[in-house]
């Protein structure tokens, strides 16, 4: 365990850090004064040391208990912009979730996005359905949801998101999960979501991406690895994790994402967040 203090010096930066039994929301302004602050700034986070030791053979990455246990630390140090995307998912929920409708968090892991949406939903009669096919993640997620405040009911399903019968959906979020499906099965999942959506619904899709321009892809991957090193990962950890993900996480290009969403029927889709080779898109059903 270690103590982490998140400090930043941009004009306003919001963090929503979920840690075992509590959700901590806080923000800083330029002079590092805290302008919004619930609960504590210091949080206990189990450090991700999964790839610290040299391994003879790297096996494919799995979302098992070992990963679930350190996932807070892993995702915050491995996905640039992750806290912002989680917090902003809540802001989208505030604006787009319709009364008496379902919201989906697909590949929910520990429930960070679910909790962020739940904090912000104002409409009556809504339900959040959080789905993950990792038993370890679902168990942690259920404990986190049970420990957090909130009145919107949440169902946490242990299932493959490809098996879900979506219905009456005003918002679906799929943060950093589509990339783990076989590429040939991504379109059908998105089509299933689209078909279940009410007019005015929104889909948030966050992914690691590549770029048509090879130079851009290489540059962003390089800077991304420098960012991971800045966050304390060694060169060996970065390399071993990359090898473990190679056959498991297959990124699409930005163009592929756009074309697929448009072909499915989404009338508008915008990139609303990007940091290096990580983006989040919002796609709207009119």
User: C-beta of 78: minimal distance to ligand SAM in Å?
Assistant: 9
Minimal CB distance residue for ligand SAM: 107
| Least Å from the CB of residue 179 to ligand SAM | 8
Task: Compare residues 202 and 218 and give the one whose CB is closer to ligand SAM.
Answer: 202
Residues that bind ligand SAM (CB under 6 A): 63, 75, 86, 107-109, 112-113, 131-134, 137, 160-162, 175-177, 180-181
Closer Cβ to ligand SAM, 219 or 227, answer by number: 227
What's the min distance (Å) between Cβ of 173 and ligand SAM? 7
- To ligand SAM, the closest distance from the beta carbon of 180 in angstroms equals 4
Give the nearer residue to ligand SAM in terms of CB position, either 138 or 269. Answer: 138
Give least dist CB 167 to ligand SAM, A.
Answer: 18
Identify the burial level of 217 via C-beta atoms within 10 angstroms of its C-beta, where 0-12 means exposed, 13-18 middle and 19 or more buried: middle
When the beta carbons of 157 and 211 are compared against ligand SAM, the nearer one is: 157
């Amino acid at each position: 365990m270690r103590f982490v203090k998140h400090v930043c010096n941009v004009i306003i930066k919001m963090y929503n850090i979920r840690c075992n039994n509590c959700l901590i929301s806080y923000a800083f302004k330029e002079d590092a004064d805290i302008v919004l602050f619930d609960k504590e700034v210091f949080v206990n986070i189990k450090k991700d040391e999964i790839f610290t030791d040299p391994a003879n053979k790297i096996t494919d990455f799995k979302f098992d208990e070992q990963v679930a246990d350190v996932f807070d630390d892993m995702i915050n140090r491995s996905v640039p912009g992750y806290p912002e995307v989680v917090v902003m998912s809540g802001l989208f929920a505030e604006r787009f979730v319709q009364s008496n409708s379902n919201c989906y968090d697909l590949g929910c892991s520990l429930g960070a996005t679910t909790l962020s949406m739940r904090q912000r939903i104002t409409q009556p009669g809504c339900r959040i359905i959080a789905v993950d096919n990792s038993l370890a993640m679902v168990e942690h997620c259920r404990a986190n949801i049970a420990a957090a405040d909130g009145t919107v009911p949440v169902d946490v399903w242990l299932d493959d998101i490809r098996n879900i019968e979506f219905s009456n959906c005003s918002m679906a979020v799929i943060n950093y999960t589509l990339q783990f499906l076989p590429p040939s099965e991504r379109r059908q999942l998105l089509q299933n979501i689209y078909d279940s959506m009410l007019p005015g619904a929104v889909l948030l899709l966050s992914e690691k991406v590549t770029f048509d321009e090879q130079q851009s892809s290489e540059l962003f991957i390089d800077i991304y690895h420098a960012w991971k090193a800045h966050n304390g990962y060694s060169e060996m950890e970065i390399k071993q994790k990359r090898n473990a993900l190679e056959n498991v996480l297959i990124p699409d290009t930005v163009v592929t994402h756009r074309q697929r969403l448009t072909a499915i029927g989404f009338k508008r889709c915008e990139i609303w967040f990007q940091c290096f080779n990580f983006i989040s898109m919002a796609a709207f059903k009119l």
